[in-house]
Amino acid sequence: MLLSKAVFVFELHNRWAIAMEAANLSRLIEAIYDCAIDPALWPSTLEQIAVAHNSMAGTLNVMDFVTGAERTLVHVGISDHYQALYRDRYQGCDVFAHSLLLCPVDQPATSEELAAEDELLQSRIYREWAVPQGFRYVLLTALIKNHARLAFIGVTRGEADGPYDAEEQARMALLAPHVRRAITIADLIDHKGLERDDLAATLDALTTAALVLGADGRLVHSNAAGEANLARGDLLLSRAGIIEPWDRTVSPAFRAMLAAEAGGTITLARRGGGSAVVSALPLRSGRRRSAASGQARVALFVQDNPCGPHAIELLGRAYGLTGAELRVLLGLADDATPADIAKRYGIAPSTVRTHLKSLFAKTGAKRQKDLVKLLMSTPPVAAKPL
């Protein structure tokens, strides 16, 4: 009898914990989407994401492959002094960046998965930048990857809290698609215009197709690009004023996305070939409700492949390269010697030689010049993408 009561209490506690977890995640997702309308909310939202993963700091970053620069959109738990140090001195020797480029979008990766333990601990960025702040473990997730940029979210914590576990990775995997949609949509919206006008007026200025729908999927507003998209009839159609995909087989998934409390993203095939990504931003609560009209329930944004693979990722996957091997390959393309690469990252020259030997074995190249030629023959690869 006592045992049965104990089991009952345990199961009740488990159900309560699961319900609380679901409620907390739901509130956090709501906060993430509010950031799409009001970017000033990102610091508090990122702090909530860090706390949800028992982390002392978090960042939301974008790497520009055209300029080679990295821009921090928002950071919490990192002082402005160390953020400036990272930007000015350490972003070029980050041992995680190349491995992250090989990770699928929305799939969180831990320190252990991104870098070999000995290589991480001997690196300059770890010894000179992470250790003084008490950072030890990271959890990084690629959000956007294409020829122009890599956007990612990261959280970090100290030695005492231990590595990130599978449950924490799963939690971040649930949040990552929402963060990606929020920053993608926020990148499109003119927030100064949004402060001045309503959401519909702001969307009118976008060159990206944008549609605002009511509760039943009925079109409430569309900008010029959205009207042109509907007129072509190769992706979305207006049937009696209700927006649907031209391909009826995906209509159930499309309607489910419109009804979802947290929005969603769906890739739709175009009639005649090709595809586009449609992202849904719910407009039912918070900052989003105040920006939208009374009838508006969801905003749709149509983009052509915003998360396509980077050429370097394709090269790495083709030859089964690791992030560390990519790092060496790109260093050679930048006219750096193996000794220069070792010095840049603060790792042992023998480690670089090991990666170089592996590159020769995997690609069949015989000389360093052959490796560089292989890299440069894979368009549109730049010599210094990270």
Instruction: Give the integer Cα–Cα distance in Å for 311 and 121.
Output: 29
The lowest-confidence range among 13-17, 195-199, 292-296, 322-326 is 13-17
pLDDT at 301 over 90: no
Instruction: Give the integer Cα–Cα distance in Å for 363 and 370.
Output: 9
The lowest-confidence range among 72-76, 150-154, 160-164, 185-189 is 185-189
pLDDT given for residue 120 in this prediction: 93
Burial of 355 (0-12, 13-18, 19+ CB in 10 A): buried
Burial of 190 (0-12, 13-18, 19+ CB in 10 A): middle
The lowest-confidence range among 75-79, 136-140, 187-191, 257-261 is 187-191
Please give the mean pLDDT across all residues of the chain: 83
pLDDT given for residue 379 in this prediction: 52
pLDDT given for residue 254 in this prediction: 92
Q: Which residue has the higher pLDDT, 107 or 199?
A: 107
pLDDT at 191 over 60: no
- Provide mean pLDDT across the span 183-208: 68
pLDDT given for residue 3 in this prediction: 47
Q: Is residue 311 left, alpha or beta, with left meaning phi > 0 and alpha meaning psi from -120 to 50?
A: alpha
Q: What are phi and psi of 87, to 5 degrees?
A: -65, -45
Q: What is the pLDDT of residues 56-92, one digit of tens each?
A: 999 999 887 666 677 888 999 999 999 999 988 888 8
Q: Which residue has the higher pLDDT, 207 or 28?
A: 28
pLDDT at 18 over 70: no
Burial of 17 (0-12, 13-18, 19+ CB in 10 A): exposed
Q: Which residue has the higher pLDDT, 312 or 50?
A: 50
pTM of the model as a whole: 0.75
**Residue 105 near residue 180, CB atoms below 8 Å:** yes
- What are the beta bridge partners of residue 86? none
pLDDT given for residue 310 in this prediction: 66
CB atoms within 10 A of CB 15: 10
Give rounded-to-5 percent helix, strand, coil for the chain: 55, 20, 25
Order of strands, edge to edge, in the sheet holding 209-213? 219-222, 209-213, 298-303, 275-282, 264-269
pLDDT given for residue 15 in this prediction: 53
Amino acid making up residue 384? K
Vertex 333, ends 331 and 335: CA angle to 5°? Answer: 80
